[in-house]
């Protein structure tokens, strides 16, 4: 029975997508719910799985093709068995030159995704062991070969052409041109639009992290034991402090829609997560009702799914305020860019010990710079400064978050 494999239904905010990677090729066996193709949109990668046991009969949309919602990608044959590789693929024709036969064999046993990686890394296809059907080379085979490439090179000495080595050593400059992914292109477009369309300013402050660090040190083991292995980090304190500050300063928790200012009666805080595909901002919903453990476990789940490419569109839609943490990469100070249509974003940074004047005495304290970028069309400077000072006060005396004072 033939089945049409279609693109998933896109939400209204997504116009189209791009075929990123075919994980299965025509004639290759597929199991029910096995991943067969990735569709990349400007927000997430959507996975299309096999509807039943069978094989792909024909691929209608190749890698790199633009597809619309519910467009047919391939024809799937349910219940069919994997086809054997043609005999010509294993034995070159006697009349054909060796180079042509080799090229034909390589083309048949290497999938499009694997071939793309091989070309980008200038690899010799004959050196890559294939684990696919009839010895075919899959994308995973190429990735594993790249990981083990240094060890393989060390184990098998190769004769080096001194002349070629001299040419490389003399300063040959290599360049690689890679098309921008839809997600990266969308990020770039939105960041430029944010700077062009908003009156963006940034205010800075610094917070003494010693009280939070001491509280975390005192209770982290008990916290982890009580909450089924959830670790107590710093981000949950910042989320809860930001939630309280957003309730006190509604303009920071608002957005601009044309000539209207939209004030949100809830706090949905986006937390920037760095992934291999780029920066993503999944959203914590109703943070006022979340505990520290809820915040930490949800952020940990976001991070894991972000690395695995499993974040969905629903995870990243909406949001009334954003927190980004450049401190995990060592940033001491930066200017975060607004995440439209939100009117503010807060940047956390590296915790660094500095000499500080406390009651006329010099003390070495763990300090962090905070940055709040805001849209001056919506938020006055006074509100922005007071918002950041509120977060500073709450973090330097965490009991105030519990007492809401």
Catalytic (active-site) positions: 376, 380
Alpha helices in 200-312 (DSSP H): 210-226, 235-248, 292-307
Please enumerate in sequence order all residues whose Cβ is within 8 A of that of 199, keeping only pairs 6 or more positions apart, or say none.
Answer: 375, 376, 377
Beta strands in 281-402 (DSSP E): 283-284, 321-325, 344-348, 352-358, 361-375
CB atoms within 10 A of CB 82: 13
Q: DSSP code of 393?
A: H
Buried b (16+ CB within 10 A) or exposed e, 176-191: eeeeebbbeeebeeee
Q: DSSP code of 340?
A: T
For helices 292-307 and 210-226, angle between their N-to-C axes, nearest 10 degrees:
80
Which H or E run contains 38?
Answer: strand 35-40
**What is the C-alpha separation between 116 and 210, in angstroms, rounded?**
50
Cis? peptide before 118, omega within 30° of 0: no
| Nearest CA among 388, 344, 347 for reference residue 201 | 344
**What is the C-alpha separation between 8 and 224, in angstroms, rounded?**
39
First-to-final CA distance of the chain: 67
Asked if 21 contacts 63 with a C-beta cutoff of 8 angstroms, the reply is: yes
Query: Residue 388: how many CA atoms within 13 Å on its side-chain side?
Result: 25
Strand partners, 404: none
């Amino acid at each position: 029975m033939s089945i049409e494999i279609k693109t998933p239904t896109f939400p209204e905010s997504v116009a189209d997508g791009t075929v990123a990677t075919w994980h299965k090729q025509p004639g290759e066996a597929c199991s029910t719910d096995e991943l067969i193709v990735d569709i990349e949109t400007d927000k997430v990668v959507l996975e299309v799985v096999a509807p039943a046991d069978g094989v792909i009969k024909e691929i209608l949309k190749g890698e790199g093709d633009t597809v619309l919602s519910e467009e047919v990608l391939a024809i799937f044959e349910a219940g069919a068995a994997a086809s054997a590789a043609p005999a010509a693929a294993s034995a070159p024709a006697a009349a054909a030159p060796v180079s042509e036969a080799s090229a034909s064999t390589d083309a048949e046993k290497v999938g499009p995704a694997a071939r793309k990686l091989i070309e980008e890394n200038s690899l010799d296809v004959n050196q890559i062991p294939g684990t696919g059907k009839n010895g075919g080379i899959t994308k995973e085979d190429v990735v594993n070969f790249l990981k083990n490439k240094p060890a393989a090179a060390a184990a098998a000495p190769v004769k080096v052409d001194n002349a070629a080595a001299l040419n490389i050593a003399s300063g040959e400059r290599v360049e690689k041109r890679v098309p921008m992914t839809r997600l990266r292109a969308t990020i770039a477009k939105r960041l430029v639009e944010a700077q062009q369309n908003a009156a963006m300013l940034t205010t800075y402050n610094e917070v003494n992290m010693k009280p939070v660090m001491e509280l975390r040190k005192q209770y982290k083991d008990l916290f982890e034991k009580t909450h089924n292995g959830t670790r107590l980090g710093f981000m949950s304190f910042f989320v809860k402090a930001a939630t309280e500050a957003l309730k006190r300063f509604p303009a920071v928790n608002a957005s601009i829609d044309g000539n209207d200012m939209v004030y949100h009666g809830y706090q949905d805080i986006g937390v920037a997560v760095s992934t291999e595909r780029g920066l993503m901002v999944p959203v914590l919903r109703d943070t006022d009702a979340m505990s520290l453990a809820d915040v930490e476990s949800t952020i940990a789940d976001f991070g894991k799914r972000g690395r695995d490419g499993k974040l969905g569109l629903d995870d990243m839609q909406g949001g009334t305020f954003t927190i980004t943490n450049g401190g995990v990469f060592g940033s001491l100070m930066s200017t975060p860019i607004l995440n439209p249509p939100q009117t503010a974003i807060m940047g956390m940074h590296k915790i660094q010990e500095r000499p500080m004047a406390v009651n006329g005495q010099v003390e070495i304290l763990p300090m962090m710079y905070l940055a709040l970028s805001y849209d001056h069309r919506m938020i006055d400077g006074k509100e922005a400064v007071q918002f950041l000072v509120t977060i500073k006060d709450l973090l330097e005396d965490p009991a105030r978050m519990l007492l809401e004072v």
